[in-house]
Amino acid sequence: MRHLFMVSGLAAALGAAVSAQQGVPASPLRVVPVQGSVHLIAGAGANLTVQVGSNGVLLVDTPTPAQAPDVLAEIRKLSPQALRYIIQTSVSQDSMGGTAALLGTAGGRGAPFGFVGLNRAAVIAHEHVLNRLSRATPATPPAALPTTTYYLPSMDFYNSEAVLLYHQPAAHTDSDTIVMFRRSDVISTGSIFTPGRYPVIDVARGGSVQGLVSALGTVLALAVPEAFEDGGTRIVPGRGRISEETDVAEFRDMVVIVKDRVQDLVKKGSTLDQIKAARPSRDYDAEYSASPADADRFVESIHRSLTQKVGGGL
């Protein structure tokens, strides 16, 4: 797996060098085949997952508003079909900040689910996303609001393969969705999994470290490794490289270990300042490219989720 990305990275670097020599600006976007009918678009903020099926193109999460035209251009290189579905994996700006801009570029606001006769995309999310966006200040543009929501633990539909959505309550936020493409054997995790950087636990919007650990366990339950070699289920994280089950297990174990250390210090009566001074994440900071401020934010979010009730902020 890592060899694949070394080759992909080299190819991207060579392409950028040739473009520079020819006076053509290199695109910041990188499109990488993942597996089956699924691709990754990186460089547009959070990772974007693209699946091409019989009903059209499906996109998991949206780019920054400024990069919506470039992202749509890359999608059209993958398929001339219309953008039919946008899945928002949480209420955070990383997941849905560019939805309105992307739909405007594609030529229409979100349509009702299954309304495939128009060149417009249905915007799909857990109902908590719609609830929070509907109460947001300033008001959310109507085109960015989900047109299809689900409230049960899961939802599924078909686009040349089964697409399964699993709600993860109280993880990164209270509105997280894991997306699995069954035939392609690919999982898109949204912000609950970010290899190479510490996760963001948004306690104010219903996130918790306990729920994050549970959500990572869901990914592990869905993923199947290929025995004794790289392969099996591919996992597209919210940010970072395409991963496998072992990468998620290592990430989950890191979160559990730091959580247990913080919890032990809380039980001993340590204040938040004393806990941060003890540096409970110290042996992981370099691996996750964390500055002292990054480590403090991670520890603070764990401490808050262990010691405070979940908030209801927007």
Write out pLDDT tens, residues 214-265. Answer: 999 999 999 998 865 667 999 999 999 999 999 999 999 999 999 999 999 9
Instruction: Give 10 or 58, the one with higher predicted confidence.
Output: 58
pTM of the model: 0.86
Question: Which segment of 68-77, 108-117, 156-165 scores lowest on mean pLDDT?
Answer: 108-117
User: Quick one: what percent of the chain has pLDDT higher than 90?
Assistant: 72
User: Quick one: what percent of the chain has pLDDT higher than 70?
Assistant: 84
Instruction: Give 312 or 210, the one with higher predicted confidence.
Output: 210
The pLDDT assigned to 260 comes to 98
17-26, 150-159, 230-239 — which one is most confidently predicted on average? 150-159
| Average pLDDT score, the chain | 87
The pLDDT assigned to 178 comes to 98
Q: Domain extents for the chain?
A: 26-251
The pLDDT assigned to 76 comes to 94
The pLDDT assigned to 309 comes to 62
Q: Which residues of 264-300 are buried (b: 16+ CB within 10 A; e: fewer)?
A: ebbeeebebeebbeeebbeebbeebebeeeebbbbbb
Task: Report the 10 Å Cβ neighbour count for 93.
Answer: 13
Q: Which residues contact 64 (CB under 8 A, 6 or more apart)?
A: 44, 45, 97, 98
Question: How confident is the model over 155-176, as a mean pLDDT?
Answer: 96
Q: Which residues of 9-20 are buried (b: 16+ CB within 10 A; e: fewer)?
A: eeebeeebeeee
Name the pLDDT band for 13 (thresholds 50, 70, 90): very low
Q: Give the whole-angstrom CA distance, residue 202 versus residue 173.
A: 6
The pLDDT assigned to 143 comes to 81
Name the pLDDT band for 46 (thresholds 50, 70, 90): very high
Tokens encoding 301: 């979010």
CATH for 26-251, among 3.50.50.60, 3.40.50.720, 3.40.50.11540, 3.60.15.10? 3.60.15.10
Contact present, 238 and 38 (Cβ < 8 Å): no
